[in-house]
Amino acid sequence: MPEPAFLLDGMLGSLARWLRMIGYDSVYVRDAADGDLLGMLGNRSLLTRDRQLAQRAGPRGFYLESDVLDDQLSAVMERFGLSLEREGTRCTACNGELEKVDKEAVRGRVPEGTWSVHQEFWLCSRCGKAYWHGAHWKNIRQRLDRITEGPGNSPR
């Protein structure tokens, strides 16, 4: 079964970044007419805060009731059965796929202190952004753990 892939409309920029963080192909379109969005769908599922638009997308539409990020993320994870196994495989900035690279490949492209203490690095195959497991990653992990604890635990 192919991995779920998503198209997100203008109000869901944060959700798009978080879905990328856990490794799912998520295209975010800030400004587009409804008809254009529907035309771009292909095999993607449309995530939207617009109930009518979700209905127009038929079975590919998914209406998000909440405007709270944690609630949105947990709703999408539950509905599409997303796992955290692919976490860290996709660029949060551009949706490109990350490739693990030799430490030497990122010398000069990441802060010197970061380069000297970390051994594993990834580069976005599309925009070239560098990634490593730092404090940032730990914060992400903690938030995801909170979210996946289940309903009723959403922090505000």
Residue holding tokens 């693990």? Answer: 100
> Two tokens at 37?
């969005």
User: Does residue 77 touch Zn ion according to CB under 5 A?
Assistant: no
Choose which of 22, 57, 91, 144 interacts with Zn ion (CB under 5 A).
91
Give the shortest CB-100-to-Zn ion separation in angstroms. 15
| Choice between 68 and 140, CB closer to Zn ion | 140
Q: How far apart are CA 81 and CA 68, in angstroms?
A: 20
User: Does residue 27 touch Zn ion according to CB under 5 A?
Assistant: no
Longest dimension (CA), the chain: 52
Residue holding tokens 């192909």? Answer: 25
User: Does residue 94 touch Zn ion according to CB under 5 A?
Assistant: yes
Q: Give the other-Cβ count within 10 Å of 7's Cβ.
A: 25
Strand partners, 6: 26, 45
User: Does residue 96 touch Zn ion according to CB under 5 A?
Assistant: yes
Could you say which residues in the range 97-156 bind Zn ion, by CB under 5 A? 124, 126-127, 129
Q: Which residues bind Zn ion (CB under 5 A)?
A: 91, 93-94, 96, 124, 126-127, 129
